[in-house]
Amino acid sequence: MYQASDARYSSMPYHRCGKSGLLLPAVSLGFWHNFGDTGHYETMKQLCFTAFDHGITHFDLANNYGPEPGSAEKNLGRILHENFMPYRDELIISTKAGYTMWDGPYGDWGSRKYLLASLDQSLKRLGLDYVDIYYHHRMDPNTPLEETMGALATAVQSGKALYAGLSNYNGETLEKAAAILNELHVPFVINQNRYSIFDRTIEQNGLKKTAVRLNKGIIAFSPLAQGLLTNRYLNGIPEDSRVRTDGRFLKESALTEEKLAQIRALNEIAASRGQTLAEMALAWVLKDGEVTSVLIGASRPEQILDNIKALENTTFTKEELEAIDKASGFAK
């Protein structure tokens, strides 16, 4: 039986989600990749052990993470049952629903039917009585926002979720959703959105400013831009990279000469800070205290340890920030 490290809380910072009572580790572990049926179970276990031993208490999933959809939850459920049940109250487990999960008209988007049925399925796969955070995974243009938020309220009121979250929302819709959830007395505490040096959509669509003004947390996924903000592509495209082995999320067409030049310029800035490019990229997301946590993915335990090193320096000079903006094409 797994025995967690006694030193697991000695170095990881924990940040409050807005003004709620919930604290999240500065770095959280995402299950988007490497925890599906194509992964290796022993490796999955070691990833979870390494994360928790170093203070990463938050494991983030969605109903459709795989492949096959649902398999990441199923695999984590097995890991929890075999190794982590003595530590359940030290863990934050989150899941989501909003993308296609099953055939027919009730397995997608944001209806009450879908969200509540999906939560029951997720709990069964995870082998849990409740999840700590339940997210609506994406905005639904066709379902009334009141219905979707009402489903999140029911999830919390039923005891099947402790907190509600929103993912891939923009600032305008976040504000409307937050007002509804507030009226329903739902502890809505966090927004999950893509955010990186290369993807600043949440700055452009008002999400970041609105979340801060409303005292809601933000957790950033893809902070390394699907691996672009690492040393993987400094000398071109490796044969074993995700671009070549799994082109669903990172296309080879994205690696233009201009993009490669940007990556190399950012790497030079990172080196001048005494960091790897990945460490700097993670530190950049956390730099202003407005992002609660960054979600990392990993295929090897060593990657988790490397990413945690970013927390050693999340302070940037004005000149460094200007250089990063210029190198990444966001110069004002």
User: Domain segments of the chain: what residues?
Assistant: 14-328
| Mean model confidence pLDDT for the chain | 95
pLDDT of residue 243: 59
- Residue 121: band (very low, low, confident or very high) from pLDDT cuts 50, 70, 90: very high
φ, ψ dihedrals at 314, nearest 5°: -110, 15
Its sign, for the CA torsion 251, 257, 259, 260, is positive
pLDDT of residue 249: 56
Between CA 155 and CA 160 the distance in angstroms is: 6
When pLDDT is averaged across residues 185-206 and rounded to a whole number, the result is 98
Q: Which residues of 152-167 are buried (b: 16+ CB within 10 A; e: fewer)?
A: bbbbbeeebbbbbbbb
pLDDT of residue 255: 80
pLDDT of residue 235: 79
The rounded radius of gyration (Å) of the Cα atoms in the chain is 19
- Residue 40: band (very low, low, confident or very high) from pLDDT cuts 50, 70, 90: very high
CA distance readout (Å), 44 to 62, 90, 203, 275, 301 = 16, 19, 34, 27, 9
Can you name the CATH fold of 14-328? TIM Barrel (3.20.20)
Asked if 17 and 292 touch (Cβ cutoff 8 Å), the reply is yes
Using H for helix, E for strand and C for coil, what is the string for the chain?
Answer: CCCCCCCCCCCCCEEECCCCCCEEECEEEECCCCCCCCCCHHHHHHHHHHHHHCCCCEEECCCCCCCCCCHHHHHHHHHHHHHHHHHHHHCEEEEEECCCCCCCCCCCCCCHHHHHHHHHHHHHHHCCCCEEEEEECCCCCCCCHHHHHHHHHHHHHCCCEEEEEEECCCHHHHHHHHHHHHHCCCCEEEEEEECCCCCCHHHHCCHHHHHHHCCCEEEEECCCHHHCCCHHHCCCCCCCCHHHHCCCCCCHHHCCHHHHHHHHHHHHHHHHCCCCHHHHHHHHHCCCCCCCEEEECCCCHHHHHHHHHHHHCCCCCHHHHHHHHHHHCCCC
Per residue in 303-328, pLDDT tens? 999 999 999 999 999 999 999 999 99
Residue 295 pLDDT > 60? yes
- Find the Cα–Cα–Cα–Cα dihedral 65, 70, 74, 79, rounded to 10°: 10
Residue 71 pLDDT > 80? yes
pLDDT of residue 1: 85
Per residue in 1-12, pLDDT tens? 899 999 999 999
Facing residues of 296 across strands? 29
Which of 59, 256, 286, 289 lies closest to 195 in space, CA to CA? 286
- Residue 52: band (very low, low, confident or very high) from pLDDT cuts 50, 70, 90: very high
